[in-house]
Amino acid sequence: MSGTAAALDGVMVKACERVPGVRNAALVLLAEGISIGGLGAGAAFDREPLVRAAVRCLGTSNAWVRSSRRVTEFAEYAFVGDEQITLILRGKLQPRLALVLVCTRESNLAFLLTAARDALREIELVEELAEWVT
């Protein structure tokens, strides 16, 4: 089962255990615009809006040129709504990878971001991911 989407789903469940209030999540390959893992209610098709959001927010065309002429790519987005918080994070070890989390509003944003960063770091280090990002 190594390297399969089912194996990555298991990795995501384990990594996201410490992120409070996760309702839904997707692990996204940005260049391909596909989900390679997920958790929460529904199937992969139900997480398609999360994939599109990650590609739109972190895609290659989304760069900001500062006055110093250096390009800065955004690595994280947070959307706070009345009932949920959506986090979109780019991988640091694997910049082609993004983690999208939809969480309840139980915790504050700083705590959610810290837990999500830890989860993504844990996901980036697993063997099962190698077949997808190399």
| Residue from 61, 84, 81, 79 nearest 71 by CA | 61
**Is residue 105, in this structure, part of any structural domain at all?**
yes
**Is residue 17, in this structure, part of any structural domain at all?**
yes
| Residue from 83, 80, 72, 89 nearest 30 by CA | 89
Query: Would you say the pTM of this structure is higher than 0.95?
Result: no
**Is residue 123, in this structure, part of any structural domain at all?**
yes
CB within 8 A of 20, min separation 6: which ones?
A: 103, 104, 106, 107, 111, 112, 115
Report the C-alpha gap between 85 and 106 in whole angstroms. Answer: 9
Report the C-alpha gap between 94 and 47 in whole angstroms. Answer: 21
For residue 17, the enclosing domain spans 5-62+69-129
**Is residue 94, in this structure, part of any structural domain at all?**
yes
* Structural domain total, the chain: 1
* pLDDT at position 118 over 50: yes
**Is residue 134, in this structure, part of any structural domain at all?**
no
> Once rounded to an integer, what is the mean pLDDT over residues 92-109?
91
**Is residue 19, in this structure, part of any structural domain at all?**
yes
Give the pLDDT confidence of 69-90 residue by residue, as tens digits: 555 566 899 999 999 999 999 9
> Once rounded to an integer, what is the mean pLDDT over residues 42-64?
81
> What CATH number is given to the structural domain containing 12?
3.30.450.30
